[in-house]
Amino acid sequence: MLKILLNGINGRMGKTIEELSHTYDNLEIICGVDNKQNNENKVKTYLNINDVQEKVDIIIDFSHPNSLDSILTYALNKKIGIVICTTGHTKEQLNKINDASKTIPIFISYNMSIGINVLQKLLKTALQSLYKDYDIEITEKHHNQKLDSPSGTAIMLMDTINNFVKDKFNEDVDFNHGRLGEKKREKKEIGVHSIRCGNMIGSHEILFGGNNEIIELKHTAISRDVFAQGALKAALYLFGKNSGIYNMNSMLNL
């Protein structure tokens, strides 16, 4: 039985993961950490990860980038792996994650949905045929409480495009975050648009616009369960792995 510490247990995703974990017979959330207390929690919850008494096998982090240092220190001391689902990390924090992965296994993904990672593979295929002759726009939509913009998933899609263009054409992409004023679209420009509205769970769309046709690649999350399932499957996948960085591509063999 895989014993999981859930960091961010009182957040939207934390609650969903804890509830969904009861449908698995090979794992359990044995404790949680959150800076907000909730007396309705079914498992022991701590304000500080250093106060955790339970023996855990792995950490799932669905919280805030500010908690990164504490969970990395804890995981390194305990020699356990981490599934990082939190987005919005700085370059410095990503470097810390890479450094820690030399000692422990770390799974990191901007989006825990299987579908969005298949979408990323479809994007790579579409770029092969469409990049040179089609305009490209990325739109991401989320609930009005989401802090980071553009979303981590949008950044992942942007990185996919940027890496493709650099590898194939040795060019830089000009990502334009929103459009304001009078300015003609540049040839290498790719628009990125963030929408924060209502309680939308998450939607990402890549639009390829040609002279006589439009091609749309789109993923919409219907329920937060899709991200919770991905996080729990990632924990099962990561347990027992050697030190290193793992992601959805390695788990799904994409």
User: Given the structure tokens 């609650």, which residue do they identify?
Assistant: 15
Looking at the structure, tell me whether residues 92 and 6 fall in a common domain.
Answer: yes
Model confidence over 158-205: pLDDT tens digits?
Answer: 999 999 999 988 888 889 888 778 888 887 899 999 999 999 889 999
| Beta-carbon count within 10 A of 223 CB | 10
Looking at the structure, tell me whether residues 106 and 160 fall in a common domain.
Answer: no
Contacts of residues 40-43 at CB distance under 8 Å and 24 or more positions apart, as own/partner, are 41/9, 41/10, 42/18, 43/9, 43/18
Amino acid at 186: E
Looking at the structure, tell me whether residues 140 and 164 fall in a common domain.
Answer: yes
CATH number for the domain harbouring residue 127: 3.30.360.10
Model confidence over 5-38: pLDDT tens digits?
Answer: 999 999 989 999 999 999 999 999 999 999 887 7
Domain housing 53: 2-112+224-252
The yes-or-no verdict on residue 56 having pLDDT over 90 is yes
Q: What confidence category does residue 104 fall into, taking pLDDT thresholds of 50, 70 and 90?
A: very high
Cα 94 to Cα 108: distance, rounded to the nearest angstrom: 10
Amino acid at 172: D
CATH number for the domain harbouring residue 88: 3.40.50.720
Looking at the structure, tell me whether residues 60 and 152 fall in a common domain.
Answer: no
Looking at the structure, tell me whether residues 98 and 161 fall in a common domain.
Answer: no
Q: pTM above the 0.85 mark?
A: no
Q: What confidence category does residue 137 fall into, taking pLDDT thresholds of 50, 70 and 90?
A: very high
Helix spans in the chain (H): 12-21, 68-78, 91-100, 114-130, 152-169, 225-238, 248-252
Indicate which residues carry an active-site annotation: 142, 146
- Number of domains the chain contains: 2
Looking at the structure, tell me whether residues 69 and 144 fall in a common domain.
Answer: no
Looking at the structure, tell me whether residues 6 and 93 fall in a common domain.
Answer: yes
Say what the pLDDT of residue 31 is: 97
